[in-house]
Each structure stands twice: as C-alpha cells, then as structure tokens.
Structure 1
Amino acid sequence: MPTLPLTLAVITHNEAGSIARCLDSVPFAAEKLVVDSGSDDDTVAIARAHGARVVQQDWLGFGAQRNFASSQCSHDWILVLDADEWLSPELAVELQQRLPELMAGNTPAAYLRRRTIYMGRPMRWYRPNVGEKLARLYHRGRARWSDARVHESLRFDGAAPTLLAAFDHANNPSLPHKQLKVLRYAELKCRDWLDRRKPVRMWQAPLVYLLAFLKDYLFRLAFLDGWRGFLIAQTAASYALYKRMRYYEMVNHPESVADATDLLNKHHIDR
C-alpha cells in the first residue's frame, strides 16, 4: 500500500495486548512512532515487530507526553491514537482519499469520530460513545496539545473538517480496568486543581454526583443502552464525586499527595 507523509503517534505503558492492532490499522503511515513510559511487559518488542520506532520517555502527564511525541515525529502531519484504539477499514480508506488534499492546504487539524466498544459490544445510543468528535489529525506547526495532566485537548485556530467514518475504542477490558483508570485520572486532575489553587467546594459534591448521573443516563441517552448504559452513567457520576473528595483530602492533608503517588506508582497506575 502506498504510504503518505504522515506519522502515527501512540503513547504507551504496558499495552502489549492492544498495540499491534492499533499500529496495523494504519498501514499507509510513512512512520509509526511509539513513545513508551517504561513498560515492563512486551509492549516495546511488539511495537517494533509491527514497524514502529520506539522512543522512551518518563511519564510527563498526558498533554506534555503528547507534545513530546509530536516533537519526535519525522513528519509534520500527525495522527494520534491511543493503544486501545484502531482505525476501521472505512476510515482508513477515507483518510487515504482525503489526506493528500488536507496536506496540500492550510488546514490545522481534522476531527475524527470515535465509536466505543463497551463490554464487548458497541454502544448504540449513549451519545459520547457514538460518533464522538475528537481532534486527532493535525499539523504540528499549526496545533499543539494543552499541558493538562489529564483530559488534554488539541489547541488550534481556524476551521477543521470532520471525517465521516469512525475509529474504534475498546473502552476498558473490564470494570476493574475502569476503576483503576478512574483512580489514575482523578489523581492527575486533582493535581492540576492543586497547582491552580482551585477553591474547595465540598458542598457541591452531592449535587455533582446527582447531576452527572442524570446528564449521562437521561440527557445523553445512556438509559437506551440498558444495564450497560446504567453502569456507564454510574461510573461517570462516581468519578465526578471521587475527584472532589480526593481534592478535599489533598488540600486538607497535603502529605497524602506523596503517599498516594508512591502507592499508585507501586501498582503502575499513575501514568
């Protein structure tokens, strides 16, 4: 298959079970780059076996890690996927057709649609998991990632087209995987709040849980996906509540920040 002057960039840590599928789904990329933060499984060996150049970088936080990856790419146009994501055949064909025109112009980025696989099946109704728009294709001279430790976003000026076909996301192999991710993301988000000295508003906590659940379960149509939708909404609401509880603890018991860091690092969660 002819290649295009594009780098597929993936950041990894212990992704041996998924990295091959991710890399193989983009056969037209002239370069595949994996930025690994100290995997102790077979991630690096598998990535190299599937055509990737691997660069080691200690974990910097999601935004900074992605910006580091951008700086290591050989091409200005970059496609970003997580290790548990992969292009559908339809999107791969659409990208090959549209990339030459995008690259020839001044477009800063493009949005891709993401379809989520949850508990082994695609979500059918829950809006964030059906056709969610994410800026994942960009020119590194015209766009960069925010420096947030988690929930980073691609920043750019100007209009960006949206491709029609979707890429797929295996949203956590199991509920234990999801709970570990909740711990990780909450810790990173709370550290961002701590840096900004965000006010503690624990009185909001009960309302936050209720409103987060209702937003996902009713207004984002999770209830139409049955019990899977209920679990999605409950997990999202629990995450919203836990972040505020954990931030309250960080502010009132600063020693807990270092204690939690040691614990999360010990169990390879905090990255």
Structure 2
Amino acid sequence: MSHLPISLVVITHNEANNIARCLDSVPFASEKLVVDSGSDDDTVAVAQAHGARVVHQDWLGFGAQRNFASTQASHDWILVLDADEFLEPALVAELETRLPSMLQSGAAVGILRRSTWYMGAPMRWYRPMVGEKVERLYHRGRARWTDARVHESLRFEGAAEMFEAPFHHLHNPTLPHKQLKVLRYAELKCRDWHARGRAPRIWMAPLVYLAAFLKDWLLRLAILDGWRGFIVAHVAASYAIYKRLRYYEMHRNPGSIESARDVLLRHGLDR
C-alpha cells in the first residue's frame, strides 16, 4: 500500500491496551508519531513495535500538548486520533481516494464523522455519539489547537472538506473509568475558569443539571437509546453540575486547589 505525506499523531498516557489498534488502522500514513507524557505501562514499547516514532513530553494540557505534537510531525498534514479511536476500512478507502488531491489544495482541515461505542455497543440515536463531526485532519500551517487545558478545539483559516465514512471511538470501557475522567477534566476546566477570574455563579447549579439532562435526553435523542441513553444523559448532567460545585469550592477555599492537585497526582489523574 502506498503511503501519503501525512503524519498520524496520537498523544498518550498509559494506553498500552489501545494504541496498537489505533496505529494499525491508518496504513496510508507515511509517519506515525506518538507523543507520550510518561506512561508507566507498555505504551511506548507497543507503539514502537507498531511502527510509531515516540517522543516524550511532560503533560502540558490537552491543547498545548496537541500543539507541541504538531511541531514534532514530519509532515504539514496531520491526522490526529486519540488512542481509543480507530479508522474503519470504509474510511481508509475514502481517505486514500480523496487525500491526494486534498493535500495539494489550499484546504485547511478535513472533517470526519465519529461513531461512539458505549457500554459495549454502538449508540444508535444519541446525536453526539452518532456521526459527530470533528476536525481531525489539518494542515499545521493553517490550523492550531486552542491552549485550553481540556475541551480544546481546532481553530483554522481556509476551506474544510467533509468525509462521509465514520471512524470509531471506544468510549470509556466502564463507568468507573468515566468517573475518574470526569474528576480530571472537571479539575482542568475549573483551573481554566480560575485563571480567567470567572465568577462562581453557584446559584445556577440546579438549573444547569436540569438543562443539561433534558438537552441530552430529549433534544439530543438519548431517550431513544433506552437505559444507556438515560445513563449517558445523567453522567453528562452530573459533570456539568460538578464542575460548578468544584469551582465554587476553589473560589471559597483557594487552598483546595493544591490539596486536590496532590490527591489527583497520587492517583495518576493529574499530569
């Protein structure tokens, strides 16, 4: 199979169980680059065994880590995946057909569709997990990730091309995995708010939970996915309210920021 002048870039930390599947799903990339932030499992060895060049970088936050990774790639065009994501054969075929002309164009990004597996099966109706449109293919001279600690986004100037076949995301394998991620992501988001001096607005917390739950359960059609839909809507709403409760604590008791950092570090949730 011919290779295209594109770099697959994956940022990792303890992803030994996922990284091989991710790397192997992109056979057309002439470079596979893994930027690891200090894994203590076999992530690095597995990545190298599956053809990746591995670069170490201490954790900078999601946006900054992705921007650093972009600078380490050998090619201007970058396909970025998370370790628990992978391309399906139909998307590989579509990319191999369309990428040669796109890489020669003035386009800035390619938009891919992501299909998510949740609790062991694909979601069928919940809109954020069925055909979600995400910018994952980009020219590093025309696009850059925001510097947010979490929930980063790609900012770009130029045209965007849409691809039809989906790639797959194996969502957190269990609810305990998800809850640990919620703790980490909420802490990072609250630190961003704290750095910007945002007001706590704790009075909004009950309204935030209700609005977030109803948005996902009804407007985003989680209700049609049965009990899994109820669970995903509840978890999303709980995350929305927990961020606000935790930020109020940071505002009310600034000493809790370092205390929380210490306990999260001890459990590998702060890097």
Instruction: State the TM-score bracket (shorter-chain normalisation).
Output: over 0.9
Structure 1 equivalent of residue 114 of structure 2: 114
**Which amino acid is the alignment partner of residue 54 of structure 2?**
V
**Which amino acid is the alignment partner of residue 270 of structure 2?**
D
Structure 1 equivalent of residue 100 of structure 2: 100
In the alignment, is residue 139 of structure 1 matched against residue 128 of structure 2?
A: no
Structure 2 equivalent of residue 234 of structure 1: 234
Post-superposition shift, 1:24? 0.3
In 2, Cα distance between equivalents of 1:74 and 1:219: 43
CA deviations 1:10-51 (Å, max 9, x no partner) are: 000000110000000001100000000000000000000000
CA deviations 1:44-99 (Å, max 9, x no partner) are: 00000000000000000000000000000000000000000000111111111111
Post-superposition shift, 1:156? 0.5
In 1, Cα distance between equivalents of 2:170 and 2:122: 9
In 2, Cα distance between equivalents of 1:162 and 1:259: 45
For the residue of structure 1 that corresponds to 2:131, the secondary structure is strand
CA deviations 1:246-268 (Å, max 9, x no partner) are: 00011111111111111111111
For the residue of structure 2 that corresponds to 1:250, the secondary structure is helix
For structure 2, which runs of at least 5 residues remain unmatched after alignment? none
For the residue of structure 2 that corresponds to 1:161, the secondary structure is strand
Structure 2 equivalent of residue 23 of structure 1: 23
In 2, Cα distance between equivalents of 1:155 and 1:115: 23
CA contact (8 A) 2:106 2:158 kept: no
Post-superposition shift, 1:270? 2.0
In 2, Cα distance between equivalents of 1:119 and 1:92: 26
CA contact (8 A) 2:222 2:232 kept: yes
What percentage of residue pairs aligned between the two structures are identical? 71
Structure 2 equivalent of residue 6 of structure 1: 6
In 1, Cα distance between equivalents of 2:215 and 2:75: 40
In the alignment, is residue 125 of structure 1 matched against residue 125 of structure 2?
A: yes
In 1, Cα distance between equivalents of 2:111 and 2:153: 12
In 1, Cα distance between equivalents of 2:208 and 2:264: 26
In 1, Cα distance between equivalents of 2:149 and 2:92: 30
In 2, Cα distance between equivalents of 1:153 and 1:121: 27
**Which amino acid is the alignment partner of residue 257 of structure 1?**
I
Structure 2 equivalent of residue 73 of structure 1: 73
In 2, Cα distance between equivalents of 1:44 and 1:38: 9
CA contact (8 A) 2:63 2:146 kept: yes
CA contact (8 A) 2:22 2:86 kept: yes
Q: TM-score, normalised by structure 1?
A: 0.99
> Segments of 4+ in structure 1 off by > 2 A?
none
In 2, Cα distance between equivalents of 1:200 and 1:172: 29
CA deviations 1:196-249 (Å, max 9, x no partner) are: 101110000000000000000000000100000000000000000000000001
In 2, Cα distance between equivalents of 1:178 and 1:205: 21
Structure 2 equivalent of residue 171 of structure 1: 171
Q: TM-score, normalised by structure 2?
A: 0.99
For the residue of structure 2 that corresponds to 1:247, the secondary structure is helix
For structure 1, which runs of at least 5 residues remain unmatched after alignment? none
**Which amino acid is the alignment partner of residue 33 of structure 1?**
L
**Which amino acid is the alignment partner of residue 166 of structure 1?**
P
CA contact (8 A) 2:61 2:150 kept: yes
CA deviations 1:144-198 (Å, max 9, x no partner) are: 0000000000000233111000000000000000000100110010010001101
- Matched residues, number: 271
CA contact (8 A) 2:63 2:149 kept: yes
In 2, Cα distance between equivalents of 1:8 and 1:135: 14
CA contact (8 A) 2:106 2:159 kept: no
Cα RMSD between the aligned structures? 0.6
CA deviations 1:81-123 (Å, max 9, x no partner) are: 0000000111111111111111111000110000000011000
